[in-house]
């Protein structure tokens, strides 16, 4: 067997890391590719956890797409239960803990893809039995088992995962309470014109919403009996914490690597960090926002896979002048809340205002398709666009049918620099069961002034 000419080490075996590993071994057959993963599972998609809890599917192994043995067949060595605890940049050495053993290993090129961990609120009682988060496979297995024996569940946080967990619990027939410290639901992703409809949908389903309330403590002796917020005490059998994530990068602090304020590793458009021969991608890293023109923290599986694949190409190249450049992220994302679907892309009005952009907005309500076909329902669209050029900067859409797939068209429009006038005349597909002759996107473009 020919001697390998380059050793590529990847820390982290989930979306970004395994995408990079798969690509790197194809690009450079002479490279040795090694992945260290702290857990026992690789290629795990945490996005499926709420749907597993809600009985959308029964086989939890669907959420782990590949095994270490399958990657070994491709030429990638994957070492699970191996946690990297230190990076010696000057000597290109890693300190790796496996059980009680401490191992030292060399790298020529390094990728950091350590993902993120849940943010737990700084309150008393989180150690009690009946308090859960939902980030790892084991979290989902334990939560699904636990809810079978309880009647009432309280969810803390109304981000994407929080809303999906609420839906899962409603499907399981539980009494559900949702606590959100902001004045409205999912405030970081959607503007008020969209989130207000999600609130109504949950309230109509019997979900108790405690908005503008902050968790102060989890109550009970050894097991959960209730919660205390800044406005009162409420009985509950079980608590699920869904208050966001933070990058897993504390082990890098001594390296001097450049990070955002939240600890996300800053990378350039080729995935390089500020350290020599070190790349990063996924929920541990920043990603370039193509509308804002700056690095941002957007912990989404789509960005992790795409930038991970690009890093896999670049890290394996012998000639770095051939390195690929990332086109940027629009933060395109979506969520299903009972009978409603909502999607967004580009910037929200909140983000546009925070960035000091000169923008205007338009909000319209139309129908998803013609009135003589069954299932017609309202569809809501908000456009954010440049006040002078009318270039579309962001879009949010909500409805019972067809909203999320339309947001993909608007992502393309933003990526291509389309104006509202061009959007108004865009030749979208029409047939009575799918749209109206003037689609809701046409209408929004035409009324934007």
Among candidate residues 332, 321, 310, 306, the one with its CA nearest the CA of residue 410: 332
Tokens 């390296």 correspond to 255
Distance CA 423, CA 425 (A): 5
Q: Which residues of 331-341 are buried (b: 16+ CB within 10 A; e: fewer)?
A: bbbbbbbbebb
SS3 78: strand
- What is the token pair recorded at 244? 């966001």
* Residue 47 known to be catalytic: yes
Catalytic annotation, pick one of 47, 242, 334, 368: 47
- What is the token pair recorded at 324? 């690929």
**Helix/strand/coil percent split, the chain, to 5:** 30, 30, 40
Q: What angle do CA 118, 122, 125 make, to 5 degrees?
A: 95
CB 24 within 8 A of CB 138: no
Among candidate residues 95, 91, 115, 111, the one with its CA nearest the CA of residue 103: 95
Active site residues: 47
């Amino acid at each position: 067997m020919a001697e390998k000419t380059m050793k590529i080490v990847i820390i982290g075996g989930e979306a970004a890391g395994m995408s990079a590993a798969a690509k790197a071994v194809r690009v450079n057959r002479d490279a040795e590719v090694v992945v260290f993963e702290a857990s026992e599972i690789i290629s795990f998609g945490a996005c499926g956890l709420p749907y597993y809890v809600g009985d959308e599917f029964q086989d939890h192994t669907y959420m782990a797409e590949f095994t270490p043995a399958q990657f070994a067949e491709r030429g990638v060595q994957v070492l699970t239960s191996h946690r990297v605890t230190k990076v010696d940049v000057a000597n290109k050495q890693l300190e790796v803990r496996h059980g009680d053993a401490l191992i030292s290993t060399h790298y020529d090129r390094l990728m950091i893809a350590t993902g993120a961990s849940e943010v737990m609120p700084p309150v008393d009682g989180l150690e009690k039995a009946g308090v859960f988060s939902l980030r790892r496979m084991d979290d989902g297995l334990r939560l699904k088992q636990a809810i079978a024996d309880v009647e009432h569940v309280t969810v803390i946080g109304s981000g994407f995962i929080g809303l999906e967990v609420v839906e899962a619990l409603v499907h399981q027939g539980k009494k559900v309470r949702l606590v959100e410290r902001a004045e409205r639901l999912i405030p970081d992703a959607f503007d008020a014109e969209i989130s207000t409809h999600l609130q109504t949908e949950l309230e109509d389903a019997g979900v108790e919403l405690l908005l503008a309330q902050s968790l102060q403590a989890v109550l009970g002796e050894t097991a959960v009996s209730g919660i205390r917020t800044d406005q009162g005490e409420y009985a509950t059998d079980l608590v699920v914490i869904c208050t966001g994530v933070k990058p897993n990068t504390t082990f890098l602090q001594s390296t001097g690597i450049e990070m955002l304020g939240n600890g996300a590793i800053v990378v350039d458009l080729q995935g390089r960090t500020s350290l020599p021969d070190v790349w990063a991608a996924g929920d541990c890293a920043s990603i370039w926002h193509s509308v804002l023109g700056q690095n941002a923290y957007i912990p989404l599986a789509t960005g992790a896979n795409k930038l991970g694949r690009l890093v896999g190409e670049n890290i394996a190249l012998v000639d770095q002048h051939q390195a690929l450049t990332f086109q940027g992220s629009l933060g395109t994302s979506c969520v299903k809340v009972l009978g409603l679907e909502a999607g967004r892309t580009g910037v929200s009005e909140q983000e546009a205002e925070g960035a000091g952009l000169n923008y205007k907005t338009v909000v319209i309500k139309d129908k998803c398709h013609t009135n003589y076909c069954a299932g017609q329902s309202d569809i809501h669209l908000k456009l954010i666009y440049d006040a002078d050029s009318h270039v579309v900067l962001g879009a949010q859409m909500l409805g019972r049918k067809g909203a999320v797939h339309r947001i993909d068209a608007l992502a393309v429009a933003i990526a291509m620099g389309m104006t509202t006038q061009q959007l108004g005349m865009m030749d979208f597909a029409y047939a009575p069961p799918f749209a109206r002759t003037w689609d809701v996107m046409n209408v929004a473009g035409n009324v934007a002034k």
